[in-house]
Amino acid sequence: MSNATSKKDKKNKGHTEESEKSFQHNLDNLNNMLKRFEKISEVSPTFCTAKWLQSTVYLHTGLTHSCHHPPAHKIPLDEIENSPAALHNTKYKKEQRQKMLEGERPNECHYCWNIEDLPSENMSDRMFKSTNTQWSFQHLEKIKSAGSKSDLNPTYLEVAFDNTCNFKCMYCSPDISTTWMDEILQNGPYPTSVKTGNLDWLKEQDRLPIRHDQHNPYVEAFWKWWPQLYKDLNTFRITGGEPLLNQNTWKVLEFVNNNPHSEFNLAINTNMGIQSKWITKFCQVSNSIADRINSLDIYTSCEAQGEQAEYIRFGLNYKSFMDNNEYLLSNAYEQNRLHFMITFNALSITSFLSFLADIRKLRRKFKPYKMLDRVSLMVSYLQWPQFQSVLVLPKEIRQSYSAQFLNYAQENSIESGPDGFLYLEEVEQIKRLSQFMLQELDENDLYLRRKDFGLFYQEYDKRKKTNFSKVFPELSEFYGKCLKL
Ligand code: SF4
């Protein structure tokens, strides 16, 4: 046996042992989780800790939901005047909690009931969240004594302070991005069947953001609540808009710097396409708070490469985006992690794998010794607006790319050998995406979505002076057909 072959065999043997250990570890975790879920079920068969402990609060629109699956509801102003904790503990939410304690299924949680009612054994988010040992399960007794009537601070909170954003990504909306809002105020909604960007709908739903020059009672209530909320928080995630362009984000960071909290995990969503002075400032702050909290995670979004990514996320400069990511990984505290959230849509299909190759380079370059990778990715698929879903594309195109993605995931799994870079959950996500891409829509739905596809991108090119067919030559023929519908 040559030296080279024996070295390779040793490396592969080590790899197989590692895989077996990891399999056993996963099995143990699953068994422990099932045991914890038995305790949860003793409270009631529909009980879910997330209704008490996990919350998202949109301070610019005064909406909240627990968890993120049910539709968000309005926070009544008279409730936060009484107590700022009503930003999370609304009367409406307390009614849903009571239903859970009585073993009733709140309708708003249909996302989980649908999964639990499937014929095969499936685990819903209710099970995952309620048994989570980082922010959830250990507070079971506290929830039981609070019941449905008392306020309880969340241990996992996501907050949006406002919608200031320098991007107008094609799948975003005016309530989430000020740049989108400016465009709609200037040019009106898009001429699709659903009137994309329509402000009347937001008005009807009471979802119009509070203007920046107006007093925001929700932000005021947040700062009243914050000092006592902070001590109970395990995870706090700031989203937007673009949080690094909002002064409240910097105020939180300053507070954290002055008030160490060893169990606090901070997460920030950023488009990483802002001026470099903000990224530089963020790295400095991340270094100064590093030993004051448990962890700091940065979440960014992209789902394609180069000018295709720039078309999808309008306002993005792909090179600056990747440079900023590198800068962050080189200059922020070395335990900070960077997560890429991929919202796969019809226009990601042609450069998705090239984008994964760029992530692979970053992951390799910044892999710390004996520590989890600092760069991770999460693949989900876009469902809204429906005409931007990958399912609008012709079957032949979807089939061909679906097969390529499946091969890529298998060939690049860490299970495939020492050169693999995709973790099992990432492989699973890509596999799920490949399967989803093969789903068929009914003819009427497909017709409407394709018509909207043509109408939307024709107007998009007109408003933004872009050129769909030039940026996506592989989809140009399909686009031409949509325009004729
Ligand atoms: S039951 Fe499901 S949808 Fe409802 S709060 Fe729990 S995890 Fe969320």
Nearest CA to ligand 1 atom 1: 126
**pLDDT given at position 379:** 92
Question: Which of 404-433 are b and which e, b meaning 16 or more Cβ less than 10 Å from the residue's Cβ?
Answer: ebbebbeebbbbeeeebbbbeebbebbbeb
Could you tell which of 54, 69, 124 is best to mutate to test the pocket of ligand 1, judged by most ligand atoms within 8 Å of the CB?
A: 69
For residue 100 and ligand 1, the question of a CB distance below 6 A is answered with no
Q: Ligand 1: which of 93, 125, 152, 156 to mutate, judged by most atoms within 8 Å of the beta carbon?
A: 125
Residue 69 Cβ < 6 Å to ligand 1: yes
Q: Which residue's CA is the closest to the ligand 1 atom numbered 7?
A: 126
Taking phi over 0 as left and psi of -120 to 50 as alpha, with beta for the rest, 417 belongs to left
3-state secondary structure of 381: strand
Place of tokens 């919350």: 55
Task: Ligand 1, residue 66: give the atom nearest the CA.
Answer: 5
Q: Which of 88, 97, 129, 155 to mutate to test the pocket of ligand 1 (most atoms within 8 A of CB)?
A: 129
pLDDT reported for residue 123: 85
The Cα–Cα gap between 296 and 339 comes to 11
| Residue numbers in the chain where pLDDT is lower than 70 | 1-23, 25-26, 368-372
Cα of 156 from ligand 1 centre, angstroms: 14
Atom of ligand 1 nearest to the CA of 69: 3
Give residue 146 CA to ligand 1 midpoint distance, Å.
19
For 70-108, give one letter per residue: b (16+ CB within 10 A) or e. bebbebeeebbeeebbbbbbbeebbebbebbbeeeebeb
The token pair that represents 95 in the structure block: 């009614």
Which atom of ligand 1 has the smallest separation from the CA of 106?
4
pLDDT at 167: 98
Pair 236, 293: CB distance under 8 Å:
no
Distance 129 CA to ligand 1 centre (A): 8
Per-residue pLDDT, 181: 97
Pick the atom of ligand 1 nearest to 125's CA: 7
Which pLDDT belongs to residue 9? 55
DSSP letter assigned to residue 134: T
Q: CA dist 116 to 52, 112, 126, 127, 416, Å?
A: 20, 6, 9, 10, 33
Q: Is the ipTM reported for this complex over the cut 0.90?
A: yes
Nearest atom, ligand 1, residue 49 CA = 6
Q: Whose CA is nearest to atom 8 of ligand 1?
A: 67
Using a 6 Å cutoff on CB, does residue 97 contact ligand 1? no
Non-local CB neighbours of 234 within 8 Å, separated by 6+ positions: 134, 135, 155, 156, 263, 264, 265
Atom of ligand 1 nearest to the CA of 70: 3
Nearest CA to ligand 1 atom 6: 126
Q: In ligand 1, which atom is closest to the CA atom of 51?
A: 5
